[in-house]
Structure 1
Amino acid sequence: MAKPLLEFTDKGIYCEQGKFYIDPWKPVDDAVITHAHADHAYWGHKHYLAHHLSREVLLYRLGEIELQTVEYGETVMKNGVQISLFPAGHVIGSAQIRLEYKGEVWVVSGDYKTEDDGISTPFEPVRCHHFISECTFGMPVYQWKPQVKIFEDVNSWWQNNVDNGVATVIVGYSLGKAQRILQNLDLSIGKVYTHGVIENTNEALRRNGVILNPTERITIDSPKEEVRRGIILAPPSSVGTPWMRKFQPYSFGYCSGWMAIRGAKRRRAADRGFILSDHADWDGLISAIDATGCEKVYLTHGYTASFTRYLNEIGFNAQEVHTLYGDDEESASSPAEGEVVEEKEKALSPGEDLGEAKEESAI
């Protein structure tokens, strides 16, 4: 029996024929990177290959690395293995990795979502024999509403806060979620002020040619009352810190797919929860996998056990595999599988009012 083109090792997904890894979590000589989130792009590799829109963010996060970047659809050959990148729709610059060798095609999805968010290059299904997929939200409870509905709610909440003299703080991961929020805010309401971590990421993306709505970095010299009249875009790490408390009184909103579950909202002590994810929902996962026409699907992180069982029951050939992916803001903070099952009937509508937070928690 021929050895598969890709194998799962203790360093990451390895292509022996091409002598490279995809999103390895231990230092290797040659790494192909799906996107710049910390659980997929580690420091310490000798050579990196990624999409060109990931370039400046990777350099900002990892320092001076040997980095080669390509466009979607461009081909790179490594020892006879044809490598090309296709849009994953997860964040700006995210890619699925397509490999072909002697007529056999594999695709590694990285993280992905199937809804066009208006800023990331939209997800594009890629036909293959073997598909390696995430399943962060691989439970039926996770069904996303169109983002236009979510942002109608976000902007209404912001306007209401302004009308009532309450500052608005909205929390989202610094790469991907923050820019998605930024591009969908109603700037007729006010200015967008950013935490330094988010603004550093914005600046890296702008250096890469990405056009973003205007933002203003919050510094020690920023007039507090002016900032409070706008909207404050902050990362999860700022929740419960003195930096965030200095804007009191404020209303604090959290954007994440986990906001579909009451327990997740309580743990974050948020006033409002907006169900906004940069990962595919239940229907998105199934439709994406089906569109590949794959003979076999491998599930790397998320609800791998239950989703594998379901796919096999409906006719796919699915296998659960173990990786170290899933340490980005959404994946790392996932509730236990049992908790989700118990709380299925408690999923809330996007932006449901949670009342005043009783406590502050650092994320």
Structure 2
Amino acid sequence: MNVLQFTDNGIYCPAGGFYIDPWKPVDKAVITHAHSDHARWGSKHYLCQHDSVPLLQLRLGKDISVQGAGYGETTLINGVEVSFHPAGHMIGSAQVKVTVQGQTWVASGDYKTENDGISGEFEPVKCHTFITESTFGLPIYTWKPQQQLFSNIRDWISANQAAGKNSVLLAYSLGKAQRIIYNLKDHVQKFMVHGAIYNGHQVLLEHGWNLPPVERITPDTPKSAYADAVIIAPPSAAGSTWMRRFNPYALGVCSGWMQVRGNMRRQNADAGFAISDHADWPGLLAAVKATGAEQVLATHGFSSTFARYLTEQGLKAGEVKTQFGEEEEPVTENESEPS
């Protein structure tokens, strides 16, 4: 039985009449997390893990019809059992477990297997079929422990301060920016952020998340304010006129793609930190094994390579094309010059 199907609108559950992370407007959308490639505007009703509710409202509008559910809480949709389970990707992220007539499929959304301190611990879910992301589905992508990565970032910041340079870190505005801020909070005096990061951060603070405060950078921010701060901006701010105000500065890119050195050079970065909110190769393999799935379907990223490897290991595996991938909207000129 195909509990879930792949259609032009997205991942569809025929028995429940709903879609998971649809890329076109539908009547019923079940959302894994609030990144823009998974949570799109236009559907009539949304269901998500309850921590994602305010983030969906931020991204899609306060007037959307949205319902939240806790981790492990079963919701019946036309008699189909649906529940959310921690994915560890960002605050509110979840895998979606769907059970129809005793057959259980799990759509992972995006996930990582190392606990970052704020996004929750990834929870393997036993299932018959596992739909897994494979963004970094190559053996070269093996992350260093988070503690070591943040130690390297702290050392880089200290070196910049000694050289009289401002430290600018590029990170996705919703999710990774908060992960960085949270894990540097005991070592950084002040965080100053781009408007795209500020908006999401404030929503999380308003909903009780234990995050340090941040200051929004505006055209009126004096140059002296940057001297004792770490500056965080979205990746698309790189190379924009908005960046000039920080001179002299050193640029650090926080991305799993920094595992390949050439990517750092191509972004004209002074430092690259391979810190990702997606599972690395060992994490993907461990997650697949822990589900006990009889069938694995790989989506976005190195899906064909990952599926082929799983097949060689004796699993029934295949590749599925989706529209998931980019997590951030481009920064517009207005966002580049926040008021």
TM-score over 0.5 (shorter chain)? yes
Is 1:124 aligned to residue 105 of structure 2? no
Q: Could you say which residue in structure 2 is the equivalent of 1:61? A: 59
Q: Counterpart of 1:37?
A: 35
Q: TM-score, normalised by structure 1?
A: 0.88
Partner Cα separation in structure 2 for residue 189 and residue 209 of structure 1: 21
Instruction: Give the corresponding residue for 2:25.
Output: 27
User: Quick check: 1:6 aligned with 2:17?
Assistant: no
Q: Which residue pairs with 1:218 in the alignment? A: 217
Letter in 2 for 1:113: K
- Where does residue 89 of structure 1 map in the other structure? 88
Write the distance in 2 (CA, Å) between the matches of 1:85 and 1:52. Answer: 10
Confirm or deny: 8 A CA contact 2:297 2:320 kept in the other structure. Answer: yes
Counterpart of 2:234 in structure 1 is 235
Read off the aligned partner of 2:267 and give its amino acid letter.
Answer: R
Once the 2 structures are TM-superposed, how far is the Cα of residue 263 of structure 1 from its aligned partner?
Answer: 2.4
Q: Out of 199-208 and 106-115, give the one that drifted further.
A: 199-208
Give the superposition deviation at 1:187: 4.2
CA deviations on 1:126-177 (whole Å, 9 max, x unpaired) are 0000100000000000000101000001011111111221111011000111
Amino acid at match of 1:12: G
Q: Which ranges in structure 1 are unaligned for 5 or more consecutive residues?
A: 333-363
Describe the SS at the equivalent of 1:246. Answer: helix
Aligned to 2:14: 16
Flag structure 2 segments of 5+ consecutive residues without an equivalent.
331-339
Say whether the 8 Å CA contact 2:136–2:280 is kept in structure 1. yes
Determine the C-alpha separation between the residues in 2 that align with 1:304 and 1:275.
Answer: 20
Cα distance in 2 between the residues matched to 1:106 and 1:121:
22
Query: Does the alignment pair 1:52 with 2:65?
Result: no
Partner residue of 1:359?
none
How far is the alpha carbon of 1:188 from its aligned partner? Answer: 4.2
2:250 — aligned with what? 251
For 1:327 and 1:171, locate their aligned partners in 2 and report how far apart those are by CA, in whole Å: 15
Indicate the SS of the match to 2:139: coil
Does structure 2 retain, via aligned residues, the 8 Å contact 1:159–1:189? no
Alpha-carbon separation, structure 2, partners of 1:129 and 1:82: 15
Correspondences of 1:303-314 after superposition (within 5 Å):
303-314=302-313
The CA distance in 1 between the partners of 2:185 and 2:12, in whole Å, is 45
How far off its partner does 1:32 sit? 0.1
Cα RMSD for the two superposed structures = 1.4
Distance 1:112 1:23 in 2: 14
User: CA deviation digits over 1:338-362, x for unaligned, max 9?
Assistant: xxxxxxxxxxxxxxxxxxxxxxxxx
Task: Describe the superposition over 1:249-295 as per-residue Cα deviations: whole angstroms up to 9, x where unpaired.
Answer: 10000000000112211221110000100000000000000000001
Deviation by residue 1:68-124 (Cα, 9 ceiling, x = unmatched):
011101111011100000000000000000011211111000000000000101100
Equivalence for 1:73: 72
User: Bigger shift: 181-190 or 169-178?
Assistant: 181-190
Deviation at 1:186, TM superposition (A): 5.0
Residues 206-215 or 287-296, more deviating:
206-215
User: Is 1:208 aligned to 2:207, yes or no?
Assistant: yes
* One-letter amino acid of the counterpart of residue 60, structure 1: L
**Quick check: 1:317 aligned with 2:316?**
yes
